Amino acid sequence: MFTFYLAVGSDTSSNDLRLLLTRKPLAFQGIYAEGYNEDRLQKLAKNYGIPIIHTLPSDVTDLIVPLTNTINSPRILRQEDVELLVRRAQDLDQMYHILDSTHDGMIAIDALSRITIINSRAEEMTGLYKKDVIGKPIQDVMPSSKLPRVMATEQIEYNRKQVIGNDRTIITTRVPMYEGDTITGALGVFRDITEIVNMAEEVTNLKSIQTMLEAIIQSSDDAISVVNEKGLGLLINPAYSRLTGLHKDEVIGKPATADISEGESIHMKVLQTKKPIRGARMKVGPSKRDVVVNVAPVIVDDEIKGSVGVVHDVSEMESLTKELEQAKKIIRSIEAKYRFEDIIGSSAEMTMAIEQARVAAKTPATILLRGESGTGKELFAHAIHNESKRKYNKFVRVNCAAISESLLESELFGYEDGAFSGAKRGGRKGLFEEANNGSIFLDEIGELSQTMQAKLLRVLQEKEIVRVGGTKTITLDVRVIAATNVALEDKIEAGEFRADLYYRLNRAPISIPALRDRKEDIHALSQHLLLRLNQDYGRHVYQLTDKAIAKLHSYSWPGNVRELENVLGRAIIHMKLSETVIEDTHLSVFPTIADVDTSKNQVRVDDRTLDEQIQDVEAAIIHETLKQCGGNKTKAAQQLGLSVRNLYYKLEKYK
Ligand SMILES: Nc1ncnc2c1ncn2[C@@H]1O[C@H](COP(=O)(O)OP(=O)(O)OP(=O)(O)O)[C@@H](O)[C@H]1O
C-alpha cells in the first residue's frame, strides 16, 4: 500500500498555486504550501491534525502528481478541496495498486502529452522509472511513443506489434481518453508477448521434430513399437507389421503382455524395472525370423511414461555374413597355415620340389608354382612364406580366376575415394598394399586378362602400384608367389599370355608332380589326410588295408591330392561307426560318371531328395570332365558351357 501526501505548492513557471499529491513515503507527513494564506493553512492543518511543511525535499517534488485540474480553484484551498484531494488520493492509491498488479504495461499521458501514469510492469518493460518520468513530456523520455499520435488522430489503435530493445516483442493497444467531449489524454496498454512468441516457436519446432521423428519411424527398416506406461500399444511402424504379421489394430491400445515373443513381453519387463534391455535374441513372426531386440524405458522427469522397442531382423544379415565368409574364402585368405613339414612326399620328384622351394623361399625372388590342380601349390605357397624372413608379415591369397576383371583390379590395387559408384568412402587398400612386407599368392595366374597382365608386370618391374582412380604411386615390398595349372607356354603361343610377364614369373619355377607320377607317396599321404578327416568328422579311422592301398594305386588321380582327400572323406562317411580300417570295398564310392547311365535310361536312385541326388550327378559330371581335360579348369569350363568363375563356384560347393 502506498501512502499519499498532500501538498500545496506553486507552479514554478506561472507562480500559480498548485495542489499536489505525492506517493513517496515521507519521513514526515503534512501540508506544504508556499505563498499561501498562512492562516487558512494553519486552520486546515489543525482541522486535519497534520503539520505544515514549509520546505519539500527535491526528491519528493519529483514524485508529485499534479492534481490541479481536479480542483475547482487552486488559489482558494477549501475544505472540500482537501477532502476531494484525500478521496482522489485514495482512489489513486487503489488505482495504482490495481495498475501495478496487472500483467499489462500501461502508460497514460495528459492533454499536454505529459506522462501521468506509468505502472510497474511498464517500468519493467521500458526501463523507465516513475520518479524520472511522471509529469515529463512523453516525447522527451520515449521519443518513439505513438500516444501523441493517438491524441491527434483520436483513433484507437488495436494490438499493434512492436519489437523493443533487442529481443522483446510487445503488442500495444492505444486509446484516446475523454472528459465529456474534450480529449484529456491517451492511454497505451501493452503486453510483452516475447514468451508467447518463443513458446509458439518452440511448439513449431516440436511439431517439426515430431513430423521428422514420425517420418524416421515410419521409414525405418527396423521394426519399432512403443507402449505407454501401462504397457498398452501406442505406435508401431510398417516394418513391425511386416516382421511380426501384426497390424495396427491388433497392437494399438492392446496390452503388450506377450507381444512378439513367447513368455512375458520385454516391454513389460522394462516398464517394471525401468531399465533398458539390449541385444535380446529371439525368433519372431510366422516365419520365425532371427531378431535382436533393444527396449528402452521412456522416462520424463523421473516418471516412467512408456517404453520403446526396436526389433532388428538379423536373419538376412546372418545369411549374408555366411555368404560373405564363403566368398572371402574363395578370394583370399590372410594367413599362411602350412609349413614344409606339412607337405608329405618322399618320392624323388617331390623331394626335389620341396628342396627347390626351401632354397627359393630364402631369396627375394618371384616364384612360379606349376602343377596340376590339387597337387598342393597353395600348400607350397604357405610353406614358402613361412620359411622366408617375411613370415611375421601378411600372406595374402588371391584366386585370379575366381573374380571378374574389374573387381580383381580394385581388389589387388585398391581404390581411391569415388573411383567408381559403390566405392567405399575414403577409398580402400588393395591386397598388394595389405601384403606389404609379406607375400601375395596369385593363384591361377594363367587366367589373368591382358590388361591385368600388363598391370602385374608393372608391379613386378617397378615395385609400385597406383590405386584405381588414383594418381599417387605407392612403393611396396611384396614377394609374389604365382601358381598355374596350365602350360603358360601354350598360352603365349596362343597370344593369351604376355611373354615378358612369363619371363619375369618363371625365374624360379617349381614343378609339383602329379599324384599319378608319385604313387609311392599315396600311402603316407592317405594316413596324413586321414588325421585331418578324422578331426573333421569326429571319427577314428587311421588305417587302410593293403587291398585298399592297391586300389588307390590303380587310379590315375586327375584331381591329385585333393581328390584323394575327397575319396577318403567319402569312404569315412559311408563307413559304419564301428569300422576303423578302410577296406577296398569302402572305396567303391569313387565319383564316376558310371553311376548314371543315360544311354540305358537307367538311373540309380536312393532315398535322398531330388536336389541332393541331382547335385551328386552334377558333381560326378564335373569331376569326369575335369579328368578328361587333364585337370585344366578353363578347358573343362568350356566343355561344360560354364564360365570359369561358375566352375570355381561349383568346385568349391562340391569340395
Ligand atoms: N603334399 C601334400 N601333403 C599334404 N597335403 C597335401 C599335399 N598336397 C596337397 N595337399 C592337400 O590337398 C589339398 C589341395 O591342395 P592345394 O589347395 O594346395 O592344391 P593346389 O595345387 O593349390 O590346387 P588348385 O590348383 O586347385 O588351387 C589341400 O587340402 C592340401 O592340404
Residue of higher predicted confidence among 255 and 109: 109
Nearest CA to ligand 1 atom 26: 373
Q: Answer whether 595's CB lies under 8 Å from 617's CB.
A: yes
Residue of higher predicted confidence among 211 and 582: 582
Residue of higher predicted confidence among 332 and 172: 172
Per-residue pLDDT, averaged over 359-365, amounts to: 93
Ligand 1 touching residue 647 (CB < 6 A): no
List the CATH number of the domain containing 145. 3.30.450.20
33-37, 188-192, 224-228, 468-472: which has the minimum mean pLDDT? Answer: 33-37
Cα(248)–Cα(235) distance, rounded to whole angstroms?
8
Ligand 1 touching residue 565 (CB < 6 A): yes
Q: How far is the CA of 531 from the centre of ligand 1 (A)?
A: 15
220-224, 494-498, 643-647: which has the minimum mean pLDDT? Answer: 643-647
Q: Are residues 450 and 402 in the same domain?
A: yes
Ligand 1 touching residue 443 (CB < 6 A): yes
Q: Pairing relation of β-strands 473-475 and 479-484?
A: unpaired
Q: Are residues 270 and 330 in the same domain?
A: no
What pLDDT is attached to residue 558?
84
Residues present in the chain in total: 655
Nearest CA to ligand 1 atom 12: 562
Cα(307)–Cα(550) distance, rounded to whole angstroms?
72
- pLDDT of 62 higher than 50: no
Give 455-462's long-range contacts (Cβ < 8 A, gap of 24+). Answer: 455/409, 455/412, 455/413, 456/501, 457/498, 457/500, 457/501, 457/504, 459/432, 460/366, 460/501, 460/504, 460/505, 461/504
Ligand 1 touching residue 566 (CB < 6 A): no
Q: Cβ-count burial of 432 within 10 angstroms (0-12 exposed, 13-18 middle, 19+ buried)?
A: buried
List the CATH number of the domain containing 532. 1.10.8.60
The whole-chain average pLDDT of the chain stands at 80
Ligand 1 touching residue 379 (CB < 6 A): yes
- pLDDT of 153 higher than 60: yes
Domain assignment present for residue 542? The answer is yes
- pLDDT of 312 higher than 80: yes
Q: How far is the CA of 496 from the centre of ligand 1 (A)?
A: 27
Q: Are residues 487 and 524 in the same domain?
A: no
Q: How far is the CA of 559 from the centre of ligand 1 (A)?
A: 10
364-422 tens-digit pLDDT: 999 999 999 899 999 999 999 999 999 888 999 998 888 777 788 888 999 887 666 55
User: Is 0.95 surpassed by the pTM of this model?
Assistant: no
Please give the number of the atom of ligand 1 that sits closest to the Cα of 485.
Answer: 25
Q: Answer whether 146's CB lies under 8 Å from 152's CB.
A: no
Domain assignment present for residue 213? The answer is no
Q: Are residues 27 and 76 in the same domain?
A: yes
Ligand 1 touching residue 485 (CB < 6 A): yes
Residue of higher predicted confidence among 66 and 313: 313
Domain assignment present for residue 319? The answer is no
Q: How far is the CA of 378 from the centre of ligand 1 (A)?
A: 6
Residue to mutate (ligand 1; options 517, 562, 622, 649; most atoms within 8 A of CB): 562
Q: How far is the CA of 373 from the centre of ligand 1 (A)?
A: 8
Residue to mutate (ligand 1; options 367, 561, 564; most atoms within 8 A of CB): 561
Q: Are residues 64 and 153 in the same domain?
A: yes
Q: Are residues 75 and 12 in the same domain?
A: yes
Predicted confidence band of residue 278 (pLDDT cuts 50, 70, 90): confident
Domain assignment present for residue 396? The answer is yes
Residue of higher predicted confidence among 329 and 220: 220
Domain stops at, among 511, 541, 564? 511
DSSP 3-state of 173: strand
List the CATH number of the domain containing 500. 3.40.50.300
Nearest CA to ligand 1 atom 5: 343
Q: Pairing relation of β-strands 303-313 and 289-300?
A: antiparallel
Please give the number of the atom of ligand 1 that sits closest to the Cα of 528.
Answer: 4
Q: Which domain holds residue 415?
A: 324-511
Q: How far is the CA of 563 from the centre of ligand 1 (A)?
A: 9
What pLDDT is attached to residue 588?
66
479-514 tens-digit pLDDT: 999 999 988 999 999 999 999 999 999 988 999 999
Domain stops at, among 511, 537, 566? 511
Per-residue pLDDT, averaged over 268-296, amounts to: 84
Ligand 1 touching residue 306 (CB < 6 A): no
Ligand 1 touching residue 343 (CB < 6 A): yes
- pLDDT of 518 higher than 80: yes
What pLDDT is attached to residue 33?
55
Q: How far is the CA of 265 from the centre of ligand 1 (A)?
A: 53
458-475 tens-digit pLDDT: 999 999 999 988 889 999
Q: How far is the CA of 646 from the centre of ligand 1 (A)?
A: 21
Q: Are residues 131 and 44 in the same domain?
A: yes
Domain stops at, among 311, 336, 361? 311
Q: Answer whether 314's CB lies under 8 Å from 322's CB.
A: no
Q: Are residues 286 and 328 in the same domain?
A: no
Per-residue pLDDT, averaged over 53-70, amounts to: 46
Ligand 1 touching residue 526 (CB < 6 A): no
ipTM: 0.96
Q: Answer whether 390's CB lies under 8 Å from 438's CB.
A: yes
Total structural domains in the chain?
Answer: 4
